[in-house]
Amino acid sequence: MPEETVIRKKTALSGIQPSGNLTLGNYLGALSNFSEFTSEYNCYYCVVDLHSITVRQIPAELRRRTYEVLALYISCGLDPEKCTLFVQSHVHEHAELSWMLSCFTMFGELSRMTQFKDKSAKHADNINAGLFTYPVLMASDILLYQADVVPIGQDQKQHLELARDIAERFNGVFSPTFTVPEPYIPKIGANIMSLAEPTKKMSKSDANENAVIRILDTRDVIIKKFRRAVTDSDTCVRYADGKDGIKNLMTIYSCFTGKSYDEIEREFDGRGYGDFKSAVGEVCADGLQPVKERFDKLMADKPYLESVMRDGAEKASRAAGKTVSKVKRKLGFVTL
């Protein structure tokens, strides 16, 4: 009998910070796509709480949001039996590898990170070292699990490029050690824009609540926010340059209905913006309702969420430990 060829299942990794209430952008650009990866990839999904403390957090809120992000992962379709769900700070190898890789990261590389510049401007009273070295920790998150693919938004592409550079640099010095990861950017839904300023990405830290749809908003709030969405002086629903607000709403409507932009244009031909904004609000509220119902049940069962955390941390630690042991051996550390 001929031997069967064993094909290694590729690995995917993604993480979300427990800082702020997650938005429609987080849902359409990331969470709603994650469950599709579990059949094709060996998936690790992380609540990246270590990353969140580059900005001052209220401890009680950080703890609550850590539970909430884990509950949202599951509410959005992730099965803890089919993927590894864990909290970053429960796996010490993240911080350990971050230090080792920081010694293979150039100061100039970190200085060019646009997010460091942006966050420094927003938090001028707290420009800490963690804010500067944040991309090294992100690289460690990815490289620890030998991730082949990392689902990211456009704003994280620069950080993934740095992770690739660090991996290649270490591999070049010490022989192949890390898998060099590739980005996965969804074709649609990757950039959901602000409802108030549609040239800016929707942000969970936006002070204007009308600009942001939060995953856990009530149905009435979601519909009201869409009705207030900024559009333009035209009345025609078209996906065209200069119509940023309408393009954003069409993207959202397409994500929830599966309809193409041409189909949406035909559906709302002659109906005006009022009808369209109400329709987008309705499909969004309908799409998020099952997520919210599942979330409420999970948040009422903290022991279950903690069991998922424990099991996930054990699985993640086994994989992460193998990588850290390999790195230590190549660096020349004495192991006992």
> Which residues are designated catalytic?
119, 201, 204
In sequence order, the 6+-apart residues with CB closer than 8 A to the CB of 105 are 133, 135, 136, 139, 162, 166
Token pair of 5 as six digits: 């060829």
* Radius of gyration in angstroms for the set of CA atoms belonging to the chain, rounded to a whole number: 21
Angle between helices 244-257 and 272-299 (to 10 degrees): 50
Own/partner contacts of 163-166, CB < 8 Å, gap of 24 or more, are 163/135, 163/138, 163/139, 165/109, 166/101, 166/104, 166/105, 166/136, 166/139
SS3 204: coil
Task: HSE, CB side, 13 Å, CA atoms: give it for residue 293.
Answer: 7
Please give the Cα distance from 102 to 143 (Å, whole number). Answer: 13
> Is residue 129 within 8 Å of 99, Cβ to Cβ?
no
Please give the Cα distance from 183 to 153 (Å, whole number). Answer: 9
Own/partner contacts of 257-263, CB < 8 Å, gap of 24 or more, are 257/283
In sequence order, the 6+-apart residues with CB closer than 8 A to the CB of 288 are 24, 27, 215, 217, 222
